[in-house]
Amino acid sequence: MFSLVLPTYNEASNLPSCIQAVCTVLAGREFEIIVADDDSPDRTWEVAERLENPKVRVLRRRQNRGLSPAVVDGFGLARGELLGVMDADLQHDEAILPQMIDALAANEFVIGSRAVPGGGYGEWSLTRRLSSWGAAVLARLVLGTPLRDPMAGYFALRRDVFDRAKDRLSPKGFKIMLELFCLARPTSHLEIGYTFRTRRAGESKASVKVARQYVQSLFELRRRMRQA
């Protein structure tokens, strides 16, 4: 079974369309969707429950909020041996999910990437592209990671890979994929290209504070990698 975690905060407007799109592309496969919602003021968790979709389970989180801990809690609830994460804001292209799942037969870690052939940043401004490029370069310099798109939040992995890293995780901010990759040290990985889409509704979670936390977390993660 494939368990897809959707970490959410104020995504009530996007979530029904996202779930419908995922169910369409995964039709015929054994899967579940876990909506890990941080008790959103717009009641995203309630929107998910009202869908009454048998493929969907809802985790309403009232403590230790944040994208990274939401993903970890979602994985803890998951029934599948294959685990995945994507955003619920419709910016990640669900069409590559079947390819990502199939790729786990030969790879321990698979990433939906904007920075490989077949991928792209869509309508991003030059400033935002440069910021993303800088964040990727910094991750490669500080952590030595081979990933082309280390800031991707769209990924899938085998449960045993998550198990290798889960006791050493310090989930904070938005870097959960990078933390899992660096601590689990998968023996094989693949980046699959997709084009990042424009958000239809709601607001981006990016901010100067998030950027500052990202830089700090890279050095903290390097320290923990050296202690492993």
CATH number where 205 lies: 3.90.550.10
Altogether, the residues listed in the chain come to a count of: 228
166 vs 129, more confident: 166
Amino acid of residue 19: I
List the one residue out of 19, 20, 50, 24 whose CA is nearest residue 34.
19
If one counts the domains in the chain, the total is 1
Q: Which of 7-16, 79-88, 110-119, 125-134 has the lowest mean pLDDT?
A: 125-134
Q: pLDDT averaged over the chain? A: 89
Q: What is the pTM of this model?
A: 0.88
Contact 151, 132 (CB under 8 A): yes
Q: What range does the domain containing 55 cover?
A: 2-227
